[in-house]
Amino acid sequence: MPTLVALDIADAPELWRELGFTVEGATTWVSGVCHRLGRPGQGVVSWTLRHLPGFTELPTDPDEGGVEPDAPDHPNGVIALDHVVITTPDLARTIEAFESGGLTLRRTRQAGTGAHTMTQAFFTLGPVVIEVVGPPAPAAGDARFWGLTFTVTDLDATAERLGLRLRPIKGAVQPGRRIATLDRAVGSSVPMAFMSAKP
């Protein structure tokens, strides 16, 4: 089964430590995914995929294997990488790229209204959901990584720990769940959100 092995992220390791992640050197682990910090660029730079050969729709590093360590306890309460958000100007092309790699399109849904209407398409890479967002009409351009959403054990406790770094908690799209986004003034180059666990 195709799985997500690693994410290369431009944020400094020190910033993620301040946000309550357990960081060893320049890496932290969530959901069996190695988050490699301090990489050149902005945001999520690239990823490493296992059992998805020849995937070129997004920047992808080769899978070099390795042993996954035990999941660390994160002081911010993070217990899982819930989903990775990808934006694309051509949703049909990006969906086809994932399906050609052996992934199954789980569902689609419409989001937004009027001129801001977008379509979301959902795949899974192991335990991680991949959310691909695109406009109604295709356009030229590359797909790119956009943001990350993490599941936490207690969203209120996470919000108390992060304080003003986190925007107010609100209801999530997923029934019975709540979500809070990281304030961009914190300085992360990755749009980031924290979500309560599934009821």
Amino acid at 91: L
Q: Which two tokens stand for residue 13?
A: 């390791």
* Rounded-to-10 torsion of CA 103, 106, 107, 112: -70
Q: In the structure, what pLDDT confidence band is assigned to residue 71 with cuts at 50, 70 and 90? A: confident
- Could you tell me the pLDDT band of residue 13, with boundaries at 50, 70 and 90? very high
Q: Which helix (H) or strand (E) holds 15?
A: helix 13-18
The pLDDT value recorded for residue 64 is 74
Domains with residue ranges and CATH for the chain: 3-196 (3.10.180.10)
Q: What is the pLDDT of residues 74-90, one digit of tens each?
A: 999 999 999 999 999 99
CA dihedral sign of residues 130, 188, 143, 171: positive
Task: Measure the CA dihedral 116/117/121/122, to 10°.
Answer: 70
φ/ψ bin of 65: left (φ > 0), alpha (ψ from -120 to 50), beta (otherwise): left
Give the residue from 150, 182, 145 showing the smallest Cα distance to 31.
Answer: 150
For the ranges 38-47, 51-60, 61-70, 113-122, the one whose mean pLDDT is highest:
38-47
What is the pLDDT at residue 70?
A: 76
Whether 72 has a pLDDT exceeding 90, the answer reads no
SS3 156: helix
- Better-scored residue on pLDDT, 1 or 157: 157
Q: Where are any strands of DSSP class E within 22-156?
A: 27-30, 33-36, 44-50, 60-61, 78-87, 107-111, 118-125, 128-134, 144-152
Mean per-residue pLDDT, 15-44? 96
- Is-above-0.85 flag for pTM? yes
Reading phi first (left if > 0) and then psi (alpha if -120 to 50, else beta), residue 126 is in left
| Whole-number pLDDT of residue 194 | 98
At residue 67, the pLDDT reads 67
The pLDDT value recorded for residue 171 is 95
Alpha carbons within 13 A on the beta-carbon side of 180: 22
Distance, in Å, from the CA atom of 155 to the CA atom of 194, rounded to the nearest integer, reads 7
- pLDDT, averaged across the chain: 94
**Tens digits of per-residue pLDDT, 108-166?**
999 877 778 899 999 999 999 999 999 989 999 999 999 999 999 999 999 999 999 99
Phi, psi (rounded to 5 degrees) for 14 = -60, -35
CA–CA dist 71, 136 (Å, integer)? 39
pLDDT for residue 49 is more than 90 = yes
